[in-house]
Amino acid sequence: MQYIFGITEKGEPKTLLSYSGFRLWKENKEKYRDRYYRGLPSPDSAEMIFGKQIAKILEDEKATTVHPILRLVPRYKQPEYRLEVDLDGVRVQGYIDSFDPKNNAFYEYKTGHKSWDGKDPWDRVKVAKHEQLPFYSLLIAEHLGKVTRKCHLVFLETEMVVKEQTFQGQSFGLTMKEPRLTGRIEVFPRIVYGYERARIRQSILDIAKEITEDYQQYKSV
């Protein structure tokens, strides 16, 4: 079976399944179709853009020295480690935020702010349920033959602050909210067991088949 998951931004067949695509299909199939079948833009929120900016800074150890908070973030030797594996014909890729090539361990970085009722976006229960960690643990095990079963999710708390908008040094009374780091960093350990990798592996295969069949049906209409 040839697995195709839609089209790329260049309009070519999308043959690689990423965690973001895997998650989007599970959470909202119509949004997946909009993005990967119809090629409709999916604008990022201010929080998502900020998170990507922080991740980019964390890739460069020298760049973090200009930011006192980011100097405290734990990291391994290899930033933005790309993996691509074949699971029974399904091509899967992942980008690991920080990878230890000696012990095959990894960190996953997340930013986020408290909800309106004061709840954190990440806690031990949410980390224990987060599928991205066994997803990446599986890719490492498949690609390198072994993986350290303990991984970590590193949470960098943000807050939304009001910023005055100016043009050429003049204020027009306009404001907007934008995220910034609070300085709070919390590291959540997670043990990924073999049965979890087996379960996420089967889930990947099932979803790959679902998307491929759905896309074929979409194209035939």
Place of tokens 């119809």: 38
3-class secondary-structure state, position 18: coil
pTM: 0.90
Q: Give, for all 221 residues of the chain, the pLDDT tens digit.
A: 899 999 998 999 999 999 999 999 999 999 999 999 999 988 777 788 888 888 888 888 776 667 888 889 999 989 999 999 999 999 999 999 999 999 999 999 999 999 889 899 999 999 999 999 999 999 999 999 999 999 999 999 999 887 766 655 666 555 567 888 999 999 999 999 999 999 999 999 999 999 999 999 999 98
> For the chain, which residues make up each domain, given as ranges?
44-196
How many angstroms separate the Cα of 181 from the Cα of each of 94, 96, 159, 210? Answer: 26, 22, 6, 39
Place of tokens 């996953």: 108
